[in-house]
């Protein structure tokens, strides 16, 4: 066996302390204690008397085989003579293994210590371990009888080779845990009533006070035999009422687990009995005719071959005189159809008066319900939740149907609930100039599918309306004839004259800027991302104080300057002049990868129209503002700069036939256009390349699907279909 566990040794420096830790007082075992079990030694002591004023960190405990307490080793977990144990803040030590020797005197003492000093040692106590015991062997075990019928008693016995030592016991285990046997000397026994059927093993062993097996075990077996069980009996069919003088039948079935069922018997309760031979689960039919009306107690039993009888199966039977029941001659429901939540009345007429003990019941989809009335007329007012068929019949007190059911139908309709339409703003222009076209896009939805129109009041005395369909976007256009702020309001209507909540917006109408073409544009200022004015040496960038916009000091207009960072305002991106309902770029139409190649995808969520770009820039508050818009043609042409100072304005006829506007006029090419480019101040607009043309908000008067644009390659203007892709420079 292992000796005392070598746990730990701490060395503490002894420091000067005001009060020395007092010596603990040893409590148990008492000094010179004998016959201690060496497998479970427990040592306890009383804490030092000055613990309250002198903190105790823990205790040192020495247990030794000699009174000098020497011979212990720090280098391994065994020791020849004694062991040193460190216990943290406990005043008890329970040995978990075994001391080294039996019939041996051990010496022990305890010392308290703190983080600063070691205390006084206690006195030395001793204890002596038990002598080595001679454990007898088990010579024989027996179960008598070796086989017993279930619930019978078996006497288990065991014979030992010698007397059992003190504090040891003989224990039996037959599958139900260890059970101590009784006896003395060499003979032990125990009577038990095992319940589980079958052959079972059992064993007997000798155990110490700690329930540890000592020595050998002896085993044998016994058998529990299942005894004869009584049969069981049940009704094969639920019994019904009986009529006087009429044949009445009862169906019974019995079962016997021992397979020795003999017969089934019935006592009719009027002095008559019957018996029939029976096999397991065989249905037996018994028939009887009662000669007198009344209540009878039927008793049925089953017998096996050993005349063991089942429990009584009883039934209380009422024998009635035969009655002639009426029939349901007619049924009706009024009204035939109702709106959900309203009631209707069911009625029934019988061919004769209803006898006592019977009722007229209806099932209209909610289970059987008793109808009100007497004699031959019955009715019930109810509020069914939904359409259904209904059935009316006559029932006895056991809820059994007597006669035929009469059936009919009714309907329940749901009330019509009209819903107001909803209106959604798709887009609208933020600002507009006098005489220009202002557009609003609206879409409505009506849950009932009877949307009729969307009407708009422009706020200047003018109204407009259009026929509407669910979720179809409608475009409303209007030209304001005077400058100012106008509040417009739109509402959707349905066929039930219900209207949506109104959508209202304010539009600012400004005067048309009087910007005449000039031969030279000067006086520009650089504007930062945060809207501040910068010096001419400022550089383009994304920081708040970097250059992002250019102000024309003559007109007061502030222009967007394009970037080359691949972001929202990258100069390579182009857009259609259609509104947001124009289809997005589709590689299936333009070819694989073309949308990306043309710069039609990215920050705008694949939106390729100018409205989407304007909205996205305003959401970013470019140069501290959110009122950016498409410039007019004249505003764009105000940026044209001819390097030779010469500027030519084509005639209206030329404009309409060729599509050209103002151009730089010298050094013409084959088209009569100047070839030196760009025709814009490159210092303040360093984002122009050859053949760049920019969209304006000015529509082409001869075809509403076209709009004007300006080429800064030559300084001319032209018009293109709104589905064409062009560049955009925003203005405010």
pLDDT in tens, 20-29: 899 999 999 9
Report yes or no on 20 lying in a domain. Answer: no
Q: Summarize the confidence of residues 331-335 as an average pLDDT.
A: 94
Tell me: do 382 and 455 sit in the same domain: no
With residues binned 3-state (H G I as helix, E B as strand, rest as coil), the percentages for the chain, rounded to 5, are 5, 45, 50
Strands 154-160 and 388-395: unpaired
Report yes or no on 18 lying in a domain. Answer: no
The yes-or-no verdict on residue 516 having pLDDT over 70 is: no
Q: Token digits for 26?
A: 């040893």
Helices marked H in 279-412 — which ranges? Answer: none
Report yes or no on 647 lying in a domain. Answer: yes
Q: For the chain, what percent of residues have pLDDT higher than 90?
A: 42
- Number of domains into which the chain is organized: 6
| Mean pLDDT comparison of 76-85, 200-209, 520-529, 608-617, highest-scoring range | 200-209
Q: How confident is the model at residue 389 (pLDDT cuts 50, 70, 90)?
A: very high
The yes-or-no verdict on residue 517 having pLDDT over 50 is: no
Supply the pLDDT for residue 646: 55
Tell me: do 239 and 294 sit in the same domain: yes
Tell me: do 124 and 150 sit in the same domain: no
Q: How confident is the model at residue 581 (pLDDT cuts 50, 70, 90)?
A: low
Tell me: do 41 and 58 sit in the same domain: yes
Tell me: do 333 and 315 sit in the same domain: no
Supply the pLDDT for residue 522: 54
Tell me: do 592 and 673 sit in the same domain: yes
Q: Which carries the bigger pLDDT value, residue 693 or residue 489?
A: 489
From 225, 247, 273, the end of a domain falls on 225
For 434-576, strand residue ranges (E) read 437-445, 451-457, 463-467, 474-479, 484-494, 503-510, 524-528, 533-534, 547-552, 558-560
Tell me: do 124 and 165 sit in the same domain: no
Supply the pLDDT for residue 603: 36
Q: Token digits for 565?
A: 């960072």
Tell me: do 613 and 711 sit in the same domain: yes
Q: What is the DSSP string of 601-644?
A: SSTTTT--BHHHHHHHHHHHTGGG-S--BPPPHHHHHTTB--TT
Report yes or no on 391 lying in a domain. Answer: yes
Supply the pLDDT for residue 527: 94
Q: How confident is the model at residue 188 (pLDDT cuts 50, 70, 90)?
A: very high
Report yes or no on 518 lying in a domain. Answer: no
Tell me: do 489 and 545 sit in the same domain: no
Supply the pLDDT for residue 412: 92
Report yes or no on 632 lying in a domain. Answer: yes
Of 62-71, 121-130, 351-360, the range with the lowest mean pLDDT is 62-71
Cα–Cα distances (Å) from 555 to 86, 518, 532, 618, in that order, read 95, 12, 18, 22
Of 177-186, 279-288, 593-602, the range with the lowest mean pLDDT is 593-602
The yes-or-no verdict on residue 674 having pLDDT over 60 is: no
Q: How confident is the model at residue 587 (pLDDT cuts 50, 70, 90)?
A: low
Supply the pLDDT for residue 84: 56
From 225, 250, 266, the end of a domain falls on 225
The yes-or-no verdict on residue 194 having pLDDT over 70 is: yes
Tell me: do 408 and 373 sit in the same domain: yes
The yes-or-no verdict on residue 156 having pLDDT over 80 is: yes
From 201, 225, 249, the end of a domain falls on 225
Domain containing residue 197: CATH number = 2.60.40.10
Report yes or no on 276 lying in a domain. Answer: yes
Tell me: do 555 and 698 sit in the same domain: yes
Q: How confident is the model at residue 342 (pLDDT cuts 50, 70, 90)?
A: very high
Cα–Cα distance for residue pair 576/562, rounded to 1 Å: 17
Count CA atoms within 13 Å of residue 159 on its CB side: 5
Q: How confident is the model at residue 649 (pLDDT cuts 50, 70, 90)?
A: low
The yes-or-no verdict on residue 381 having pLDDT over 70 is: yes
Tell me: do 250 and 278 sit in the same domain: yes
Sheet of 422-428: strands edge to edge? 422-428, 437-445, 474-479
Cα–Cα distances (Å) from 542 to 119, 545, 559, 570, 622, in that order, read 76, 8, 16, 12, 10
Supply the pLDDT for residue 434: 80
* pTM (two decimals): 0.31
Q: How confident is the model at residue 39 (pLDDT cuts 50, 70, 90)?
A: confident
Q: How confident is the model at residue 337 (pLDDT cuts 50, 70, 90)?
A: very high
Supply the pLDDT for residue 630: 94
The yes-or-no verdict on residue 173 having pLDDT over 80 is: yes
pLDDT tens per residue across span 477-488: 998 888 888 999
**Residue 90 φ then ψ, to 5°:** -135, 145
Q: Which carries the bigger pLDDT value, residue 633 or residue 652?
A: 633
Supply the pLDDT for residue 590: 61
Provide the mean pLDDT of the chain. Answer: 82
Q: Summarize the confidence of residues 30-50 as an average pLDDT.
A: 85
pLDDT tens per residue across span 598-642: 555 433 344 567 888 888 899 888 998 999 999 999 999 888 877
- Pick from 511, 516, 504: which is nearest to 432 by CA? 511
Supply the pLDDT for residue 83: 62
Supply the pLDDT for residue 410: 93
Of 80-84, 358-362, 398-402, the range with the lowest mean pLDDT is 80-84
Cα–Cα distance for residue pair 708/715, rounded to 1 Å: 13
Structural domain including 208 reads 138-225
Q: Which carries the bigger pLDDT value, residue 588 or residue 409?
A: 409
The yes-or-no verdict on residue 316 having pLDDT over 60 is: yes
Report yes or no on 730 lying in a domain. Answer: no
pLDDT tens per residue across span 233-278: 999 988 888 888 889 999 999 999 888 899 999 999 999 999 999 9
The yes-or-no verdict on residue 205 having pLDDT over 90 is: yes
Supply the pLDDT for residue 283: 94
| DSSP secondary structure letter of residue 567 | S
Q: How confident is the model at residue 88 (pLDDT cuts 50, 70, 90)?
A: low
């Amino acid at each position: 066996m292992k000796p005392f566990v070598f746990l730990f040794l701490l060395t503490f420096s002894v420091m000067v302390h005001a009060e020395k830790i007092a010596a603990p007082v040893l409590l148990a075992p008492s000094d010179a204690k004998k016959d201690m079990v060496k497998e479970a030694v427990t040592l306890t002591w009383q804490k030092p008397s000055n613990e309250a004023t002198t903190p105790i960190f823990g205790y040192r405990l020495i247990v030794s085989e000699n009174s000098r307490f020497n011979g212990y080793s720090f280098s391994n977990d065994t020791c020849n003579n004694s062991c040193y144990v460190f216990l943290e803040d406990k005043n008890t030590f329970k040995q978990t293994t075994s001391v080294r020797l039996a019939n041996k005197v051990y010496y022990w003492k305890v010392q308290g210590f703190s983080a600063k000093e070691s205390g006084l040692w206690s006195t030395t106590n001793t204890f002596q371990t038990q002598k080595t015991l001679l454990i007898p062997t088990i010579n024989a075990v027996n179960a008598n009888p070796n086989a017993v019928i279930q619930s019978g008693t078996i006497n288990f016995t065991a014979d030992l080779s010698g007397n059992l030592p003190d504090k040891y016991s003989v224990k039996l285990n037959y599958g139900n845990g260890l059970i101590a046997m009784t006896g003395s000397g060499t003979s032990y026994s125990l009577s038990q009533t095992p319940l589980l059927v079958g052959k079972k093993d059992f064993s007997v062993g000798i155990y110490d006070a700690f329930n540890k097996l000592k020595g050998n075990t002896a085993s044998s077996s016994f058998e529990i035999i299942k005894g004869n069980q009584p049969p069981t009996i049940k009704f094969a069919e639920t019994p019904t009422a009986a009529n006087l003088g009429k044949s009445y039948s009862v169906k019974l079935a019995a079962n016997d687990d021992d397979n020795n069922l003999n017969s089934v018997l019935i006592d009719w309760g009027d002095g008559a009995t019957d018996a029939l031979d029976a096999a397991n689960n065989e249905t037996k039919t018994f028939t009887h005719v009662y000669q007198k009306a009344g209540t009878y107690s039927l008793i049925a039993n089953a017998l096996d071959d050993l005349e063991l009888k089942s429990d009584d199966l009883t039934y209380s039977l009422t024998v009635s005189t035969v009655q002639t029941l009426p029939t349901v001659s007619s049924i009706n429901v009024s009204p035939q159809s109702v709106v959900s939540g309203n009631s209707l009345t069911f009625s029934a007429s019988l061919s004769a008066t209803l006898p006592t003990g019977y009722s007229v019941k209806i099932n209209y989809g909610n289970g059987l319900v008793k109808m009100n009335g007497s004699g031959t007329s019955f009715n019930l007012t109810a509020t069914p939740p939904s359409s259904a068929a209904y059935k009316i019949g006559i029932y006895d007190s056991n809820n059994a149907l007597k006669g035929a059911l009469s059936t009919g139908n009714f309907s329940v309709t749901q009330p019509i609930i009209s819903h107001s339409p909803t209106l959604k703003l798709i887009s609208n222009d933020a600002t507009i100039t006098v005489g220009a076209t202002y557009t609003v896009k609206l879409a409505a939805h009506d849950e009932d599918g009877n949307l009729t129109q969307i009407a708009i009041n422009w706020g200047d005395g003018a109204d407009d309306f259009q026929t509407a369909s669910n979720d179809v976007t409608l475009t409303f256009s209007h030209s304001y004839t005077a400058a100012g702020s106008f509040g417009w309001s739109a509402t959707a209507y349905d066929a039930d004259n219900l209207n949506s909540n109104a959508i209202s917006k304010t539009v600012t109408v400004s005067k048309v800027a009087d910007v005449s073409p000039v031969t030279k544009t000067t006086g520009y200022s650089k504007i930062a991302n945060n809207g501040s004015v910068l010096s001419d040496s400022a550089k383009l960038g994304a920081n708040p104080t970097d250059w992002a916009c250019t102000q024309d000091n003559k007109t007061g207009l502030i222009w967007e300057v394009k970037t080359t960072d691949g972001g929202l305002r990258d100069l390579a991106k182009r857009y259609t002049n259609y509104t947001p309902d124009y289809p997005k770029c589709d590689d299936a139409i333009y070819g694989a990868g073309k949308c990306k190649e043309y710069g039609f995808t990215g920050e705008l969520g694949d939106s390729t129209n100018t409205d989407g770009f304007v909205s996205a820039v305003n959401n970013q508050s470019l140069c501290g503002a959110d009122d950016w818009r498409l410039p007019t043609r004249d505003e764009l042409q105000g940026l044209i700069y001819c390097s030779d100072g010469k500027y030519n304005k084509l005639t209206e006829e030329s404009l309409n036939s060729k599509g050209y506007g103002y151009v730089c006029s010298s050094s013409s090419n084959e088209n009569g256009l100047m070839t030196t480019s760009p025709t814009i101040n490159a210092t303040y607009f360093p984002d122009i390349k050859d053949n760049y043309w920019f969209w304006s908000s000015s529509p082409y008067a001869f075809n509403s699907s076209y709009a004007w644009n300006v080429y800064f390659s030559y300084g001319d203007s032209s018009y293109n279909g709104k589905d064409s892709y062009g560049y955009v420079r925003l203005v405010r």
